[in-house]
Structure 1
């Protein structure tokens, strides 16, 4: 009975991963098409800017992860990877809904893609995390490792922005806000990241109990 149920869970996991990753790749390809179609700079610069958005990079990570889960034979994985990715995409959704949604009003195909990247994928990953993460092994000591990607990302966009003048998000625009304000904003986002990570771990432990 246990083996039967285990196989059913694996089949469901792979099926959902496949469906979710197809949605993710569709949204990413659609956004890339729109970026090229509506470019205001050279192709090279457009591509650089496309890959400086945390939304894009995180959705790529999400889609790659789900693709691997959907097609790999071995379903064992290190606990915490799914939680880290879910934290990243949750931050994407939260910051967009609270801070960025009112800054523009996309229409047509752009609105569909926008909702998929910022609203649908975060919800789908939270569902996937709830169903399949190995919550018993989650530890607070894992959080510093989870921070490597967002901290490295922040450093890169600030360095590149200093030379190119382009910052992907208004709250890290050094030109308009200055170093102190950007540093403050980054600190608050870091605190939020740590708090959200701790919340996921706490919820995970509570669910297992």
Structure 2
């Protein structure tokens, strides 16, 4: 059975399409800048690709772009069904919110990018968090989240933290200054990571609270 598109659903689809394009654009610009810099100094491009995917910001923005693309794709697949599950999309919403908040509080003052780097930074740290949270609010069905989902959501940042420490130990390169073990030492790094984890859980609780509130209002959207 084909359900006819309404003006409202068509408008939402256009907005999601714009958000998806912006998400992939930010990632593409950032990848180009990293690979171009590596090429100019005759460094390994494969190493540049590994470095690109070693940032929590990049990984999370990739997940955001994938969810938005799945929303636009009509062809059914296991991947599409998985990413569009409310608890999965909501967990990604929590992560991208953390990206935006952490960048504004901890990193924005440390440098002042210009040109294409400024554009990539704005898209990944400011624009996409806001757009994806708007998508989550308007398009993801509400009323299904439970506190137990937080235990699943934190696997992602904890796994990333473990990977970042392992990679940093091997290469002496850390993606973010607040987890730089060589400069701060393990005790301070774990304190910093613990503070970020607390922030992650607080945002997760807020997301669950909003989900339950909107679910009770009966305004959740059916796919």
TM-score scaled by structure 1? 0.91
Q: Is 1:27 the counterpart of 2:26 in the alignment?
A: yes
Q: Per the alignment, do residues 30 and 167 of structure 1 end up closer, same or farther by CA in structure 2, a change over 3 Å counting?
A: same
Trace 1:130-209 onto structure 2 (pairs within 5 A).
130-208=137-215, 209=217
CA contact (8 A) 2:144 2:211 kept: no
Which residue of structure 2 lines up, in the alignment, with residue 107 of structure 1? 114
Name the CA distance, whole Å, in 2 between partners of 1:8 and 1:139. 33
Name the CA distance, whole Å, in 1 between partners of 2:90 and 2:6. 23
Q: Is 1:128 the counterpart of 2:135 in the alignment?
A: yes
Unmatched segments (≥5 aa) in structure 1: none
TM-score scaled by structure 2? 0.86
Displacement of 1:48 = 1.6
Q: Is 1:56 the counterpart of 2:58 in the alignment?
A: yes
CA contact (8 A) 1:14 1:71 kept: no
String of CA shifts for 1:71-122, please: whole Å, max 9, x gaps.
Answer: 1346974221221111111111101111100111011121111101100000
Q: Is 1:36 the counterpart of 2:35 in the alignment?
A: yes
Displacement of 1:196 = 0.7
RMSD after superposition? 1.9
Unmatched segments (≥5 aa) in structure 2: 218-223
String of CA shifts for 1:15-34, please: whole Å, max 9, x gaps.
Answer: 32221111111111111111
Q: How many residues align?
A: 206
Name the CA distance, whole Å, in 2 between partners of 1:24 and 1:11. 20
Name the CA distance, whole Å, in 1 between partners of 2:75 and 2:139. 16
Name the CA distance, whole Å, in 1 between partners of 2:86 and 2:133. 15
Partner residue of 1:97 out of 104, 109, 125: 104
